[in-house]
Structure 1
Amino acid sequence: MIRILLADDHTILRDGIRALLLADADLEVVGEAGNGAEVLSLLETTPADVVLMDVQMPVLDGFATVPEVRRRFPEVRVLVLTMLDHENYVTRMFEAGAAGYVLKNAAISEITFAIRTVAAGSPFLCTEIGLSMLSKAVSHAPGTPPVTTDGVATADLTARELEVLKLIAEGLTNGEISDKLFTSKRTIETHRQNIIAKTQAKNTAALIKLAVSRGLIT
């Protein structure tokens, strides 16, 4: 039996994951936490094999929590479950001590496979990110700097990120964008962080320049 501690600040997401994991007889959710501080507190009294953890959490986020889990509970493996798909986040979490990284849009079969993989002591990287990183490694020669426009790196953005970028350039707030795209404000914040990480833009003005350069706005 693999004992799992769920860590995400969205209760509805924890409930959904718990319900999906119930289908596997060898997986057991032994606790839930809404932030990293709660994870560390629970691990003091609740034995667990794997912590299935989001990166973005209040009080103590994933970047700060993972090193503490590794230091204080070295037998516990941390599997990151997040919407953040840029390689910068992947690299930072593995450097912090995470055993695996999987996206929230992955199939439940891939998530459960990831849980079993890290519980067995092996690292795991979800298929989508692995293929994306491989594609970039093949298409770009080592040491080649990213092409830039007006000083902003033009790393590839997803269609959804381009849509959010356009709305940011139009002056909409995260809340207004979430209403317009029928999604949560937290999701828009995540898209904004991904856009900033990919473009290396330092502020909204730089993002607007990028939108203009790509013909998204005039």
Structure 2
Amino acid sequence: MTRIFLVDDHTIVRDGIRSLLATEPSIIVVGEASNGQELLDHLPATPADVVLLDINMPVLDGLATTLRLQAEFPHVRVLVLSMLTHERYVGQILDAGALGYVLKNADRSEIITAVQAVAAGKNFLCSELGLTMLRKVLSREEPNEPELKKPNQLTRREMEVLHLLSEGLTTSEMAEKLFTSKRTIETHRQNMLEKTQTKNTAALIKLAVTQGLVK
């Protein structure tokens, strides 16, 4: 039997979670509190295996409560039940010692699974939150670098300018070496940036080195 202590400053939320958990015979709700300090005051007389904890609460919030639990009741495991989806909150509370994080709109089966997993000492992240965080990670990845699949995408003269750029020559020095004007050199440079979809000369040279066009 897993003993659960509910901590949320909204009575209606506690009532709903208590009713939901009442349908699972392996779980019993042994206590309720409207903030972290009330929980800590009651725990010595009301032992619990898992604390189902909100984050935003008055007096003592979820993060501070989790830290206190780790210090004063290390055997009690924390499962966060919150509507906060930002990875900063998730990371902070998990770093503080919580084993699981479930959104309040999760269905009955997922909340019960989360309670059972945390009671067993396992980590748990609800599916909706996990997918949301994965999408954020993927959206922040750098786009693939443009590729010059064939060297002949650049003209012979552009390749000459590219090699001189990689050697660190200035526009004036390249113009003198190639017997042309500085304006022509700048035109070649701009054409290469457009063809390779690079933002500046440094990115262009980096790409050319990566593709083996220059050493």
Kindly state the Cα deviation for residue 70 of structure 1 after the two structures are TM-superposed: 1.1
Kindly state the Cα deviation for residue 140 of structure 1 after the two structures are TM-superposed: 2.0
Matched to 2:130, the amino acid is G
Question: Match of 1:25?
Answer: 25
Residues 1:123 and 2:123 are matched in the alignment: yes
Aligned residue for 2:47, secondary structure, equals coil
Q: Deviations over 1:2-59 (max 9, x none)?
A: 0000000111111111111111000000000000001111111111000001001110
Aligned residue for 1:41, secondary structure, equals helix
Question: Match of 2:69?
Answer: 69
Kindly state the Cα deviation for residue 138 of structure 1 after the two structures are TM-superposed: 2.2
Report how many residues are paired. Answer: 143
Kindly state the Cα deviation for residue 134 of structure 1 after the two structures are TM-superposed: 1.3
Matched to 2:102, the amino acid is V
Question: Match of 2:79?
Answer: 79
Kindly state the Cα deviation for residue 63 of structure 1 after the two structures are TM-superposed: 1.1
RMSD: 1.2
Residues 1:91 and 2:85 are matched in the alignment: no
Question: Match of 1:135?
Answer: 135
Kindly state the Cα deviation for residue 139 of structure 1 after the two structures are TM-superposed: 2.6
Question: Match of 1:112?
Answer: 112
Unaligned runs of 5+ in 2: 144-215
Aligned residue for 1:45, secondary structure, equals coil
Question: Match of 2:59?
Answer: 59
Residues 1:50 and 2:50 are matched in the alignment: yes
Q: How far, CA to CA, are the matches of 2:107 and 2:49 in structure 1?
A: 22
TM-score scaled by structure 2?
Answer: 0.65
TM-score scaled by structure 1?
Answer: 0.64
Runs of 4+ in 1 over 4 A off after TM superposition: none
Matched to 2:68, the amino acid is E
Matched to 2:140, the amino acid is H
Rg larger in structure: 2
Q: How far, CA to CA, are the matches of 1:140 and 1:58 in structure 2?
A: 34
Matched to 2:124, the amino acid is F
Matched to 1:109, the amino acid is S
Q: How far, CA to CA, are the matches of 1:38 and 1:47 in structure 2?
A: 14
Q: How far, CA to CA, are the matches of 2:16 and 2:128 in structure 1?
A: 22
Percent identical pairs in the alignment equals 59
